[in-house]
Structure 1
Amino acid sequence: MDPAAPSSSPSSPQLGRKRTAASTLEEPLTPKRHCSMDDVMRRAPAVDAPLPVARAASTLEEPLTPQRYSSLDDVMRRAPAVDAPPPVARERVYTYYETLLCETCGSADSEDDLILCDRCDRGHHTFCLRPIVSQVPVGPWFCPICAPPIQAPKSFPVNERKIFNFFGIQKDEQDAQAAECKPSKDARRRRKRSHVMHKKRRRILPFVPSEDGARRLKQLASLASALTTSKTEFCNELTYMPNMAPRSSNLARLEVGGIQVLHKEDKESLELCTTMQKRGEFPPLLVVYDSQEGFTVQADGNIKDMTFLAEYSGDVDYLENRANDDCDCLMTLLLSANPSQNLVICPDKRGNISRFFSGINNHTPDGKKKKNVKCVRYNIDGESHVLLVACRDIACGDKLYYDYNGFATQEIIMTEIDKFL
Structure 2
Amino acid sequence: MRTSVFNAHTRCTLAPTNQNPSPARLTLPRQTIMATWKASSSSSSPAASPSRRFIPYRRRTKASPPRRPSSESPPRKMRSIADVMAKSPPVVEQEQDDGYGDVTCEKCDLGERDDELLLCDKCDKGFHMKCLRPIVVRVPVGPWVCVDCSDQRPVRRLSQKKIMHFFRIEKQIDQTERSQLSQEESRKHRRRSCSLTVKKRRRKLLPMVPSEDPEQRFAQMGTLASALTALGIKYSDDLTYVPGMAPRSANRSKFEKGGMQVLSKEDLETLELCRAMYRRGECPPLVVVFDPLEGYTVEADGPIKDLTFIAEYTGDVDYLKNRENDDCDSIMTLLLSEDPSKTLVICPDKYGNISRFISGINNHNRFGKKKQNCKCVRYSVNGECRVLLVATRDIAKGERLYYDYNGYEHEYPTHLFL
Task: Assess same fold via TM > 0.5.
Answer: yes
Residue 188 of structure 2 corresponds to 187
Residue 307 of structure 1 corresponds to 308
Output the CA distance in 1 between the equivalents of 2:239 and 2:272.
Answer: 15
Residue 165 of structure 2 corresponds to 165
Q: Is the 8 A contact 2:118 2:139 kept in 1?
A: no
Deviations along 1:260-298, whole A, 9 cap, x unmatched? 111222111111111111111000000011222211110
Q: Report the TM-score, using the length of structure 2 for normalisation.
A: 0.62
Residue 386 of structure 2 corresponds to 385
Q: Is the 8 A contact 1:329 1:355 kept in 2?
A: yes
Q: Is the 8 A contact 1:362 1:371 kept in 2?
A: no
* Structure (1/2) with the larger helix percentage: 1
Residue 216 of structure 1 corresponds to 217
Distance 1:242 1:185, change over 3 A: same
Whichever residue aligns with residue 354 of structure 1, its letter is S
Residue 401 of structure 1 corresponds to 402
1:123 deviation in Å? 7.5
Output the CA distance in 1 between the equivalents of 2:154 and 2:200.
Answer: 42
Distance 1:365 1:413, change over 3 A: closer
Q: Is the 8 A contact 1:205 1:269 kept in 2?
A: yes
Residue 8 of structure 2 corresponds to none
Distance 1:191 1:295, change over 3 A: farther
Output the CA distance in 2 between the equivalents of 1:189 and 1:140.
Answer: 53
Whichever residue aligns with residue 393 of structure 1, its letter is D
Q: Is the 8 A contact 2:251 2:385 kept in 1?
A: yes
User: Residue 411 in 1 paired to residue 405 in 2?
Assistant: no
Output the CA distance in 2 between the equivalents of 1:124 and 1:175.
Answer: 49
Residue 371 of structure 2 corresponds to 370
Residue 242 of structure 1 corresponds to 243
Structure 2 residue runs of 5 or longer lacking an equivalent are: 1-112, 120-124, 414-418
1:200 deviation in Å? 5.3
Output the CA distance in 2 between the equivalents of 1:183 and 1:176.
Answer: 13
Whichever residue aligns with residue 304 of structure 1, its letter is K
Q: Tell me the SS of whatever aligns to 1:297.
A: strand
User: Residue 276 in 1 paired to residue 277 in 2?
Assistant: yes
Output the CA distance in 2 between the equivalents of 1:412 and 1:243.
Answer: 26
Output the CA distance in 1 between the equivalents of 2:326 and 2:177.
Answer: 40
Output the CA distance in 2 between the equivalents of 1:402 and 1:175.
Answer: 35
Map residues 193-342 of structure 1 onto 2, 5 A cutoff.
201-342=202-343
Distance 1:345 1:138, change over 3 A: closer
Q: Tell me the SS of whatever aligns to 1:253.
A: helix
Output the CA distance in 1 between the equivalents of 2:301 and 2:356.
Answer: 18
Map residues 1-40 of structure 1 onto 2, 5 A cutoff.
none
Structure 1 residue runs of 5 or longer lacking an equivalent are: 1-110, 415-421
Output the CA distance in 1 between the equivalents of 2:116 and 2:197.
Answer: 48
Distance 1:121 1:351, change over 3 A: closer
1:133 deviation in Å? 3.8
1:242 deviation in Å? 0.6
Q: Is the 8 A contact 1:181 1:275 kept in 2?
A: no
1:223 deviation in Å? 0.5
Distance 1:296 1:413, change over 3 A: closer
Output the CA distance in 1 between the equivalents of 2:276 and 2:208.
Answer: 12
Aligned residues: 295
Q: Is the 8 A contact 2:240 2:317 kept in 1?
A: yes
1:197 deviation in Å? 11
Whichever residue aligns with residue 291 of structure 1, its letter is P
1:385 deviation in Å? 0.5
Q: Tell me the SS of whatever aligns to 2:346.
A: strand
Whichever residue aligns with residue 410 of structure 2, its letter is E
Whichever residue aligns with residue 169 of structure 1, its letter is I
Q: Report the TM-score, using the length of structure 1 for normalisation.
A: 0.61
Residue 36 of structure 2 corresponds to none
CA RMSD of superposed structures (Å): 3.7
Map residues 94-105 of structure 1 onto 2, 5 A cutoff.
none
Output the CA distance in 2 between the equivalents of 1:389 and 1:174.
Answer: 29
Output the CA distance in 1 between the equivalents of 2:343 and 2:156.
Answer: 37
Q: Is the 8 A contact 1:332 1:413 kept in 2?
A: no
Output the CA distance in 2 between the equivalents of 1:267 and 1:181.
Answer: 18
Map residues 38-187 of structure 1 onto 2, 5 A cutoff.
115-116=116-117, 133=137, 135=139, 137=141, 153-157=154-158, 159-171=159-171, 178=178, 183=184, 187=188
Distance 1:192 1:135, change over 3 A: farther
Distance 1:163 1:123, change over 3 A: closer
Output the CA distance in 2 between the equivalents of 1:180 and 1:408.
Answer: 35
- Is the deviation greater in 353-362 or in 250-259? 353-362
Seq. identity, %: 51
1:247 deviation in Å? 0.4
- Is the deviation greater in 301-310 or in 197-206? 197-206
Q: Is the 8 A contact 1:226 1:295 kept in 2?
A: yes
